[in-house]
Chains A and B, each alone.
Chain A
Amino acid sequence: KNQVEQSPQSLIILEGKNCTLQCNYTVSPFSNLRWYKQDTGRGPVSLTIMTFSENTKSNGRYTATLDADTKQSSLHITSAQLSDSASYICVVSARMDSSYKLIFGSGTRLLVRP
């Protein structure tokens, strides 16, 4: 069964600290993996998209890694700011016949405190 599991479910960190969010997937055949940031009451906004051959991708203070062998990804946030408080959703794309299916994780809720 195609699944995306994220951990932790929620996380509280202090402003200026670093944190790492985890994503494990059992999706096949794998096409790509995305991380989205979703502010409360808003739609998700894309942070990174990584294909099979990419191990790491950065977007400002956000760095995503992908290990396609172990089917794991992480999102590292450096020097967290209050505006980083949001849900972070891992999404894996699977190739199905002639189209693709996006499988969403449940997200990690991050709260950054002053």
Chain B
Amino acid sequence: DTGVSQNPRHKITKRGQNVTFRCDPISEHNRLYWYRQTLGQGPEFLTYFQNEAQLEKSRLLSDRFSAERPKGSFSTLEIQRTEQGDSAMYLCASSLGDSGGAREQYFGPGTRLTVT
């Protein structure tokens, strides 16, 4: 257990429905990252927050995706009008400062989304 939690762990939804995932980072971590991972691939960056500010969004994050971190603590990722191509593992990670600069990035267990 890395200290980063995600809920739900699994979500099955029908195409066209909206879904929301939650991530609770390690409490003192100011950076929070969202990734998407499909089978047999490494994680792909979606977006990240520094405290409550969303500082970067990947081109993968279409208009149907929105993420928030309202109080600089937990974060939510919402997908509207889900499509079958959204089926993937959604990973959250947190770090103290910029994790690219040799700081540890701690991942949660992920939320597995299946769109039928």
User: How many chain-B residues does the 8 Å CB contact rule pick out?
Assistant: 25
Instruction: Pick from B69-77, B79-87, B103-111 the stretch touching chain A.
Output: B103-111
A106/B4 contact (C-beta < 8 A), A31-B102, A43-B108, A44-B107 known: no
| Residues 91-111 of A contacting B (Cβ, < 8 Å) | 91, 93-95, 99-102, 104-107, 109
Q: How far is the CA of A44 from the CA of B107 in the complex (A)?
A: 6
Residues of A within 8 A of B41 (CB): 106-107
Question: Which residue from A43, A46, A99 sits with its C-beta under 8 Å from B4?
Answer: A43
On whether the beta carbons of A45 and B99 are closer than 8 Å, the reply is no
Stretch at the interface among B14-22, B42-50, B60-68: B42-50
Q: B103: shortest Cβ distance to chain A, in Å?
A: 9
Give the residue of B42, B45, B56, B100 whose beta carbon is less than 8 angstroms from that of A105.
B42
* Docked pose: A107 CA to B106 CA in angstroms: 18
Q: Provide the residues of chain A in CB contact with B104, threshold 8 Å.
A: 46, 49
Q: Is B109 within 8 A of A93, CB to CB?
A: no
The residues of A that contact B99 with a CB separation of less than 8 Å are: 100, 102
Q: Are B100 and A95 in contact (CB under 8 A)?
A: yes
C-alpha gap A41/B91 in the complex (Å): 11
- Contact digits for B22-48, partner A, Cβ 8 Å, 1 yes 0 no: 000000000000000000111111000
22 A-B contact pairs sorted by A residue (CB < 8 Å): A31-B100, A32-B100, A41-B89, A41-B109, A41-B112, A42-B110, A43-B2, A43-B4, A43-B108, A43-B109, A49-B102, A89-B43, A91-B42, A93-B100, A95-B100, A100-B100, A102-B99, A102-B100, A104-B42, A105-B42, A106-B40, A109-B40
Which residues from chain B sit less than 8 Å from chain A, CB to CB? 2, 4, 40-45, 56, 89, 91, 93, 98-102, 104-110, 112
